[in-house]
Copies of this chain bind each other. A is one copy, B any other.
Amino acid sequence: MEASRPDTATRILDVSERLFVEHGFEATSLRMITQQAEVNLAAVNYHFGSKDALFEAVFMRRLAPLIASCLAELDELEAREEKLSVEGLVTTFIRPCLALSKDPARGGALFVRLLSRTLVENHRLLRETISQQYSVFVQRYSRAFHHALPELGVEELAWRMHFAFSVMFNAFAGNDVLKIFTRSQIVSARDPDMIVKYLVPFVVAGLVSPVKG
């Protein structure tokens, strides 16, 4: 019962995903990658062309299916509910993230952390390639939230969505600000189901809270 060894390119992708998350793009050398993947140093440039292209490959392997899952959940919800519920909308985003986090075969929570690092590091890849390919993602959610929360102005809604996705995203990425200052492990347990149990009510409450006069 031995798992068949993946091919060279896949092994490079798997190891790179983990190392890019652990050390960041710059601090991860091709020699670290190829050594842990047990492939030759030149294999990266042979299969992917460059370190930059490798990063993009690592990234896109996970992003595209995740986005597709969210949009599929959104389709389902809109087909099922006449008047969209905020909790339902939030769940269409959280469920695919949760599924990804619990699936080691797809890198588990690694990719969300990679996305988080990449966002904070403000990579060119995010500013250029991705924003063009996946702008429909935000458009769909913006429209859906507008239907679910028609009493909010466009500016107020944009901010609340910004906050909502920020907290959801960082919850899955495991970015715990308070962890900086303490060694408490209560929150850092990182059980994905636990995250959701407390995350959904928090986010929904912020989204639906009455507008201040």
Contacts of A139 in B (CB 8 A): 182
Residues A112-168 near B (CB distance < 8 A): 116-117, 119-122, 126, 130-131, 134-135, 137-139, 154-156, 158-163, 165-167
A33 in the interface (beta carbon within 8 A) = no
Interface residues of chain A: helix, strand, loop or mixed (majority): helix
B202:A160 contact, CB within 8 angstroms: yes
Identical chains in the assembly = 2
A181:B130 contact, CB within 8 angstroms: yes
A182:B138 contact, CB within 8 angstroms: yes
User: Which one of B120, B160, B186 lies within 8 Å of A158 (CB-CB)?
Assistant: B186
A181 and B120 contact, Cβ closer than 8 Å, known pairs A160-B198, A176-B166, A187-B158: no
A175 in the interface (beta carbon within 8 A) = yes
Give how many A residues have a beta carbon under 8 Å from the other chain's beta carbons. 59
Chain B nearest Cβ from A20, distance in angstroms: 11
Contacts of A173 in B (CB 8 A): 120
A135 to B182, CA, bound (A): 5
A48 in the interface (beta carbon within 8 A) = no
A84 in the interface (beta carbon within 8 A) = no
B180:A171 contact, CB within 8 angstroms: no
B167:A166 contact, CB within 8 angstroms: yes
User: For residue A200, which residue of chain B has the nearest CB?
Assistant: B212
A178:B161 contact, CB within 8 angstroms: yes
Of the candidates A119, A126, A204, the one having the most CB atoms from chain B within 10 angstroms of its own CB is A119
A166 to B180, CA, bound (A): 12
What are 24 pairs between A and B in contact, CB < 8 Å?
Answer: A22-B122, A120-B120, A120-B175, A130-B180, A131-B179, A131-B181, A135-B182, A138-B181, A138-B182, A138-B184, A154-B186, A156-B198, A158-B186, A159-B202, A162-B171, A162-B176, A163-B167, A163-B202, A163-B203, A166-B167, A166-B175, A201-B206, A201-B209, A202-B207
